[in-house]
Structure 1
Amino acid sequence: MGGPKRPEQERCDAILAAAYELALTEGLDAVTARRVATAAGISPGLVFFHFQSKDGLLQALLDVLLDGTLDALTDPALAALAPWDRLERMVRGELERLAEYHAGVELLFAFYFSRRDDLFRDRIEASFGRYLEAFLPVCREVAADGGLSDSVSGDDLAATVVALVQGASIQAIRNPASFAPEALLSTLRAFRPVA
C-alpha cells in the first residue's frame, strides 16, 4: 500500500479503530489481520508487527474498551459534592454513557461471553473489580454519614449500585430506544433517607 508512512501511534490507532468497527459490525470472529489491514489501509504485516497475533490485537482492543470504563467515575469535580449527590452524579454519568456508547458495551459483553479463555476473562474481571473499587469510597461515605439504614453497609450499597449499572447495560444493549436512566436513578434515590 503506497503513500506516506504514518507515525507508529497513528498506525496503531488506525488498526484498533478498524478492528473496533469490524468487531461492532461483524463480530469478534471477523477481526482478522487481513480484514483489519484492509480497513485501516495498511499491510497485514503491520498488524502483526504491532500486535503479534490475532489474540494480541483482540487484547489491545479489549484494553481500549476497558480503559474508558473509569473515566466518568474519577472526575475531580465530583469531590466537591456531598456523598449522596456525588454517588447520584457518578451513577447518572455511567447510565448516560451506556445510552451513548451501548455498541461499545455490547462489544465488551461479546468479549466476556465469547472469549472464555483466561487471557480475556482475567482482564475483564480485573476491570470489574476496579469498577466496584471506584464506587466503594463514596458508598462508604454515604454509610458513614448515616445515609443508610443500619442493616446496609457502604460495601452493600456499592455492590447494589454496580449491579444496577451492570443490569442497565444489558437493558441498553437489548433495547436502546427504551433505555430510561431517570427510572433507574429513581431506584437509587429510594435508598436515600428523607432529610
Structure 2
Amino acid sequence: MQEPVKAIFTECIQTQIASADLLQEPLMRAAELLVDSLLHGQKIYCCGESMAHASARHFAHIMLTGLQFERPPFPVNALHADYGANEHETIFAQQILAAGQPNDLLVVLNAGNQAPRISRAMEAAVSRDMLIIALTNEADQDVAGLLGPDDVEIRVPSRNTARVSEHLLQLVNMLCSLAEQQIFPQEDNP
C-alpha cells in the first residue's frame, strides 16, 4: 500500500519543481498587478470553477484578514456561487456586470479542463475594462483564449486536477504573501 502513496508524493514534488522553474515570472507579474490594483484603490474580485472555488474563497479570506501579520484588510471579494440560481453558468458574470468598474481586477482559478462560469465572468470583466489574473493548468481549454495583453496567466504545469488544486492553494497563498511584502515591507520578517 505504500507505493501508491509514494507515487502521489512524487507527482506532487515533480509538479512543485516544474512550477518553481516555470511560474516565477508570471507569479511576479501577477503580484505586481495585484499590488498596483490595491495601491490605486481598485476592487478585486475572485472566483473559481468547481473544485477551485474553495481556493478562490480562501484567497479572498486571507486578503481580507492577513496571512503573515496583522494589517488593514485588502478589498477582495469572493464572488458568490449560488447553485440554486436560474442561470448557473452566468452567476459570476452577473456579479461582475453589477459591480465591476474599469481597472478593477478579476482573479479566476480553474483546476479542470473547462470553465464555463469563470469564462462568462471573464467576458463580463472584459466588457467592463477590468484586468484579469488567471490561475489555470495544462488541460485548460476555456480561460487562456480570453486573456488580453495586460492580463496575466499562471499556468500550473500539470493536467492532474488533484495536483492542480493543491498548487492553486499554494499560489494564492504566495500571491497574498507577495502583496503583503510589497505593501508593508517594514513588516517583512524572512
**TM-score strictly above 0.5:** no
Say which structure, 1 or 2, has more relative contact order (CA 8 Å, 6+ apart). Answer: 2
Q: Which has the higher helix share?
A: 1
Question: TM-score scaled by structure 2?
Answer: 0.28
Q: Which has the higher strand share?
A: 2
> Which protein shows a greater Rg?
1
